[in-house]
Structure 1
């Protein structure tokens, strides 16, 4: 089970890079994201054929303020774990990731890096 927290611009990139059909994913946009961005992410997930086929990616509808080093990060992880238990209680591990955690090594052993996109996003903001 993966909880992926971040902003819209990199969420799909990170998800596609770490995606594996045997895992479950819960996506949570940060509180600065608009309802339109949440809807857009949900629609994007629903339109991706691999995600449709395995029905293993969910999007949290509403978020609250998160500080990655504070207690709010722990609260978000506990909230996500509770949601995962409602969705499917058959899991052995839980990993919380942020889009800022990149680069990562994928389950297939390859390195994925979206550093260029992160810099591109910060220039456009």
Structure 2
């Protein structure tokens, strides 16, 4: 009796690979809930932050004009141009270099305009710039 020569097998057997994938899937499903993701503790807007000095308020209105409220100079807003803002803040920076400046913008003002005002304050070399937000009541 003569033996037939073995034919080459041209197919791959995927059953062992499926078994390995199922084992890996079970391992990941069991270990995933045990991994502790990094926690980031963000500050709350509703909290009042203590301020050491009265900041100068640069108020950006919806129509685009600027006013400055400086409680050391008086309690009324003074209208300024964008070039006048750089000059006025430069004078303020030379007299009180650590005094903060906050930008109070109307809610509907475009974010780009707020960034332009921040850029003007940076040109005047103001180091402490913030954004004024209304706290949540209740």
Same fold (TM over 0.5): no
The structure richer in helix per residue is: 1
Report the TM-score when normalising by structure 1: 0.34
Instruction: Provide TM-score, normalisation by structure 2.
Output: 0.32
Q: Which structure has the larger Rg?
A: 2
